Structure 1
Amino acid sequence: MKMDSKKMKNELEKRLTNSNRTFSFDRKKDELRIENKQTGKGITISLPGIIAKWEVQKEKAIDEVVYYVEEGLQAMDGDVQLSGKEKNIFPVIRSTSFPSESEEDVPFLFDEHTAETRIYYALDLGTTYRLIDLQLMQKEGWIPERIKETALFNVRSLSTDMKSDQVAGNMFYFLNKNDGYDASRILNESFIKGMERKMNGSMAIAVPHQDVLIIADIMNDTGYDILAELTMSFFTSGRVPITALSFLYENGELEPIFILGQNRKK
């Protein structure tokens, strides 16, 4: 069966139909929006990306979207509170193209991180999470510094066990706990510094999507090529893609590296 936007739209509407929801389709942008009738809050999903995943994963791609939309709408409907949930506040890494405000035009709390990435802050709700915005902060009288300090403290409590693989004389380390905060471990300074001490060559880091962190000990040019292929592969398969670029880690700084065959540029 050939999947197109009309078929995908119909399939998603069928699975997400609820008496308390409305659907609207923007043909020009190829986007489907699902809204709560009472609150007007909702989620907009871009269909081309889902169709591309469907070509590879079939029904699993649709199941995944339905799950995250259901969880996201449920999180919006609930009365979310920060107070008493301090241990559930975490930083999340997103691309610089990620929206800076909610669909209700409320600015998210975020910090610039690298030329490719930003740090947002999330309240973990169990099976989903809500990005922290200014409205939620003001409602409870929290200041940005309190949220940032709490989030960075909590990310240091997450497991940093890694799997490793040696290829062509280069060592690659993978962190993939699937807890939504794998990429966030890049903000655990003591962990990153500890990994730096293990390096024999150049240290490179990649966060292709939110559920993986790659650290590479690069000993030769082939290592850069392998890292580029790995990062692109993860980037195209992740639920929440971040960046297909890798970073050199030097003197506590992350510098994007552009890898073209045997050539690499900072």
Structure 2
Amino acid sequence: MKMSGIKMKNILTEKLKSPERTFEYNKEKETLRITNTKTGKGITISLPGIIAGWEQKAEKAVEEVVYYVNEGLAVMGESHILEGNEKKILPVIRSTSFPNESKEGVPFLFDEHTAETRIYYALDLGKTYRLIDQELIQKEGWEIDRIKEIAGFNLRSLSTQLKEDRVAGNIFYFLNTNDGYDASRILNTAWLSRMKEQINGTMAAAVPHQDVLIIADIQNQTGYDVLAQMAMSFFANGHVPITALSFLYENGELEPIFILGRNRPAEEEKK
């Protein structure tokens, strides 16, 4: 059965329905917003990414989204504080198209990162997290620099254990702990520098969605093509997509690159 945006909207609405929730479907943007009528807060989900996941994992993909929405709405009604929760403050990577403020119009705390990405800051709540906004900062009187410093320190304490795969003479390293901050590791500049030292070819990276970071040791043109295909595949299937583009890592800087895929014979690669 071919899945459409309308069909997926109907499936999710049925599974998530509650007397305390309203649903708003945007046909043009292919999004569904679920709002808790008691708190006035809600979650907007992009349907194309869910449909892509459904085509691969069927009902499991839908159940994952339902779980994510239920957990997210549950914590939105709670009161959150920074004081005493310093170890739970972390940076998160988002695309530049991600909103700069909450649905209620409260600006988020964020920094520019690359032409494709921004850095937001989050208070970890266990199964989900809350993005730190100006309202939370002002309520507790915290300095913004303090939040950023704590977030950076906590990020550097996260595991950077990698899985390795070799394709056509190129090496690909994957970081995928599913802790919600896999893509955030790309902000660990000291770790990136150490990775650079063990790269024999060109170092590239990708953060297609929040739960994966790819580091590539590119040895030939095929390596660029493979990285581009990986990034697009992950991007299409992630719950929180970031960017399908990859980055070159040179002189401590990340530069977005557009890779035009080509199918070249193996014999040509060896020349």
Same fold? TM cut 0.5: yes
- Give CA deviations for 1:80-134 in whole Å, capped at 9, x if unaligned: 1111110001111111111111111111111110011111111110011111111
Q: How does 1:174-185 map to 2 (within 5 A)?
A: 174-185=174-185
Q: Given the superposition, is the C-alpha separation of residues 253 and 62 from structure 1 closer, same or farther in structure 2, using an over 3 Å criterion?
A: same
Greater shift in the superposed pair: 11-20 or 83-92: 11-20
The AA in structure 2 aligned to 1:85 is N
The AA in structure 1 aligned to 2:183 is A
Q: How does 1:85-164 map to 2 (within 5 A)?
A: 85-164=85-164
Q: Given the superposition, is the C-alpha separation of residues 30 and 229 from structure 1 closer, same or farther in structure 2, using an over 3 Å criterion?
A: closer
Q: Secondary structure at the match of 1:151?
A: helix
Q: Give the match for residue 39 of structure 1.
A: 39
Question: CA RMSD of the aligned region, Å?
Answer: 1.9
Q: Secondary structure at the match of 2:248?
A: strand
Deviation, structure 1 residue 13: 2.5
Q: Secondary structure at the match of 2:259?
A: strand
The AA in structure 1 aligned to 2:163 is K
Q: Give the match for residue 54 of structure 2.
A: 54
Q: Give the match for residue 68 of structure 1.
A: 68
The AA in structure 1 aligned to 2:122 is A
- Give CA deviations for 1:127-181 in whole Å, capped at 9, x if unaligned: 1111111111111111221111111100000001111122222211111111111
Distance in 2 between residues matched to 1:213 and 1:5, nearest whole Å? 28
Distance in 1 between residues matched to 2:68 and 2:57, nearest whole Å? 16
TM-score, normalised via structure 1 length? 0.92
Deviation, structure 1 residue 10: 3.2
Distance in 1 between residues matched to 2:136 and 2:8, nearest whole Å? 34
The AA in structure 2 aligned to 1:185 is R
Distance in 1 between residues matched to 2:36 and 2:116, nearest whole Å? 33
8 Å CA contact 2:228, 2:261 repeated in 1? no
Distance in 1 between residues matched to 2:183 and 2:48, nearest whole Å? 25
Q: Give the match for residue 218 of structure 1.
A: 218
Distance in 1 between residues matched to 2:182 and 2:6, nearest whole Å? 35
Q: Given the superposition, is the C-alpha separation of residues 228 and 104 from structure 1 closer, same or farther in structure 2, using an over 3 Å criterion?
A: same
Greater shift in the superposed pair: 227-236 or 245-254: 227-236
2:208 is aligned with 1:208 = yes
The AA in structure 1 aligned to 2:196 is E
Distance in 1 between residues matched to 2:32 and 2:196, nearest whole Å? 44
Q: Secondary structure at the match of 2:114?
A: coil
Instruction: Structure 2: state its 5+ residue gaps.
Output: 264-271
Q: Secondary structure at the match of 2:120?
A: strand
Deviation, structure 1 residue 230: 1.6
Alignment size in residue pairs: 263
TM-score, normalised via structure 2 length? 0.90
Deviation, structure 1 residue 225: 1.4
Q: Given the superposition, is the C-alpha separation of residues 12 and 198 from structure 1 closer, same or farther in structure 2, using an over 3 Å criterion?
A: same
Q: Secondary structure at the match of 1:68?
A: helix
Q: Secondary structure at the match of 1:259?
A: coil
Deviation, structure 1 residue 4: 3.7
